[in-house]
Structure 1
Amino acid sequence: MPATAPVAVTGAEGFIGSHLVEALVAAGHQVRAMVQYNSFSSYGWLESLSEEVMSHVDVVLGDVRDPGSVQGLVTGTEAVYHLAALIAIPYSYRAPHSYVETNVTGTLNVLEAVRHLGIPRLVHTSTSETYGTAQTVPISEDHPINTQSPYAASKAGGDRLADSYHASFGVPVVTLRPFNTFGPRQSMRAVIPTVIGQVAAGERVITLGDLRPTRDFSYVADTVAAFLAVGTAPADAVVGRTFNSGTGEEISIGDLVSLIGKLMDADLDVRSDQERVRPAGSEVMRLVCDSSRLRAATGWAPAHTLETGLAHTVDFFRDPNNLARYKAGIYNV
């Protein structure tokens, strides 16, 4: 394979995917970016990247649920970063079958393509939601898997396939399991853009679900750095292994809202909407990351505090052109 072989990214049009594409280009890579086929020929958040960045990106409209699309995407690449997934937990209660098709079968298609084409490295994306509510803290990779939503179950299914393809066929896969990531371009189905977006749109009565759960929030640039770390580390340090990425610090949703209000100089009246509350047995009450395995294997460490990342995110949503891309006045499932 030539030294100039491109790297492939599935889910490239999304929040983390678009930031990863930017970072890969900045690191000197040509990127083959899969965007889910749509009749509008929309490239999602890739359309917000500069012409200079996009001159190094080959956008491929396709679908991870289709084996042919995936094979065409990864042929001749030196690494594949597999981020494509359905991720909204509330929508997984409504449409679980689609989550299995994308998150399980889609991952199978990527694994099969990487296996048969002999691609040197596959980075598979997991989620901290596969752990469920923390039984011990901080949560290491040895924590039991306890899937409390159809979304989490579908992601755990993809993880198990990745493990099995490494064990059975020697597929050079490494799994990254990010804890909650936030930053510019994130969907309003997540809590931080939901709050910041409502405030930026002039709202002071903020509607949310349960305020008690705690989360470990990582700024998107740090999560992307973790992807690059496991994608480029020596194979004997990472291949066949699963790594958590996170800060090791937790904050409750209620305290997070208070912090955002302070940063945005806004006195907020927070109200709970039952439509936004997960079913009782499905709510993950506590997530806090142990990323020591990743740090030891690659030297990765987060470079942003929660406050710094929130400030960058506030700046993004305060730009009227960015805010106009969102529907801040509705519940985004």
Structure 2
Amino acid sequence: MSSKRVFITGIEGFTGRYLERYLRGLGYEVSGGALSPSAPHHARLDLLDKDSIKAAFRVKFDYIIHLAAVSFAMADPAEIKNANEIGTLNLLDTLSAVKFQKAIFASSASVYGGGDAPMSENSALNPQSIYAQSKIYMEEQIARSGLPFIIARPFNYTGAGQSENFLIPKIVRHFKDEAFVIKLGNLTPKREYNDVKDVVRIYEQLLKLEANDEIFNIGSGKAYSIEQILQILRRLSGRDIAVQSDAKFIRTNDPALLVCDTAKLLNYGITPCSGDIEALLRLMLASD
């Protein structure tokens, strides 16, 4: 059991909720911040307000895991840039005056764009969205900060409780509701859809590494098309659903493949995500 103290930004977001529960189960002391905190041990944290950050950091911590961000790639571009760029600068400025052992910053595999082969941490960056550009900017500022850091680049992941703004929860909801039709964009690009529980496990393992100033992909090396996801859900649910193509969901620059090279995780003794999409979809169908 650990007695280390961890502060999580975005602690009440999708990933933050899973991460807090997982770390507490391992014996960590966990605190964190959210824009509108709902728990007594959660502080108000607005990354666009330096005084808010300083107030939240009055609690002592050994590690910080920075999850707070606008992570919905189709959100308002100004909102993305404010949260992911200006918010990062404000956070780094405040952290420079705080004593702690290590920070993990959640970036995104979207920085790679995509390609014909699995993406390693050394693959060329080719952002295809404002969201991906904001994550590259974040990484650049972190690298210049002089702070002890690990940058994590998770490939797509999901799970019960994720907002239905995101693709897999949206599709699962339509099957749960026994809908006859769903409006979607491109069905053929292949992406990873990993389990959030695997992602938070790997975050905790990265905390314990001796390594600093490193970048780690978080993924499984297993990718699926939306057509494959639909086929699995049809089989699991015993229901059919028709697909209507909707231009507003189609991205003209959508790469055909974005999949993780997991070699670096394995080299550090960390088990990658399982990539067991059928088990994950079965769990999401059964969840409330």
Structure 2 unaligned spans of 5+: none
**CA RMSD for the aligned pairs?**
1.8
Summarize deviations over 1:40-60 as a string: whole Å, max 9, x none.
Answer: x6x4xxxxxxxxxx7xx7111
Q: Which residue of 1 aligns with 2:99?
A: 118
Whether contact under 8 Å (2:221, 2:275) holds in the other structure is no
* Kept in 2: contact 1:9–1:34 (CA 8 A): yes
Partner of 1:71: 54
1:193 to 169, 172, 192: 169
Q: Which residue of 2 aligns with 1:6?
A: 5
In the alignment, structure 1 residue 152 sits paired with structure 2 residue 132: yes
Q: 1:288 to 1:13 in 2, by over 3 A?
A: same
Deviations 1:198-237 (A, max 9, x none): 1111203122111111101211110111111111222xxx
Partner SS state of residue 114, structure 2: coil
Supply the distance in 2 between the matched residues of 1:119 and 1:113 (Cα, whole angstroms). 12
Deviation at 1:161, TM superposition (A): 1.0
Decide whether the 8 Å contact of 2:220 with 2:275 is kept in 1. Answer: no
Q: 1:259 aligns with which of 214, 220, 232?
A: 232
Is the 1:114–1:122 contact (alpha carbons within 8 Å) kept by the matching residues of 2? no
Give 1:240's match in structure 2, choosing from 196, 209, 213: 213
The TM-score with structure 1 as length reference comes to 0.81
Task: Say yes or no: does 1:288 pair with 2:271.
Answer: no
**TM superposition shift of 1:21:** 0.8
Runs of 4+ in 1 over 6 A off after TM superposition: none
Asked if 1:84 is matched to 2:64, the reply is no
Question: Residue type of the partner of 2:9?
Answer: T
Per the TM alignment, residue 5 of structure 1 is displaced from its structure 2 partner at its CA by 5.7
- Aligned equivalent of 2:156: 180
What residue in structure 2 maps to residue 59 of structure 1? 42
Asked if the contact 2:220/2:274 (under 8 Å) is kept, the reply is: no
- Report the AA paired with residue 227 of structure 2: G
In structure 2, C-alpha distance between the alignment counterparts of 1:258 and 1:310, rounded to whole Å: 11
Give TM-score scaled by structure 2 length: 0.93
2:54 maps to amino acid: Q
- One-letter amino acid matched to 1:6: R
**Percent pairwise identity:** 27
Q: Aligned residue pairs: how many?
A: 286
Deviation digits for residues 221-264 of structure 1 (CA, Å, limit 9, x no counterpart)? 10111111111222xxx310100011101111111111122111
Distance 1:5 1:226 in 2: 17
Q: For residue 330 of structure 1, what is the aligned residue in structure 2? A: none
